[in-house]
Amino acid sequence: MAARHRVEGLAEKARRLFEAGYGLVGDGAWGIYEVSSSLRGTENLFFDMALHLDYVEKLTNCLDADFARVELQKLPAHSNARKGHEALEPCFD
């Protein structure tokens, strides 16, 4: 859930922008599919899924590891959740 200070007044700001003629678009969180599609292109990703599933598996595993590394870096250094994840290696060395 978003912190209250991040969303306070957002509805009014959106209303003012809309009434001033601006288009408004919502953008949700990006997951592994969206990032893979952005990296490869949607058509290429679908072809990869059909013809090169081993590549797609490696790509998504690497993205998953990268997401985990980013999230773990947000945790305090003394957090128990960081234990065992210290050596996440970059993918595609």
pLDDT tens, residue by residue, 34-88 = 888 888 899 999 999 999 999 999 888 888 877 777 766 776 766 665 555 444 4
Helix, strand, or coil here: 76? coil
Residue 26: the pLDDT is 72
Residue 36 burial (CB < 10 Å; 0-12/13-18/19+)? buried
Residue 78: the pLDDT is 64
If you write DSSP's letter for every residue of 54-73 in order, what string do you get? HHHHHHHHHHHHHHHHHHHH
Q: Which two tokens stand for residue 76?
A: 């305090």
pTM for this entry:
0.51
Structural contact between residues 56 and 37, judged by C-beta atoms closer than 8 angstroms:
no
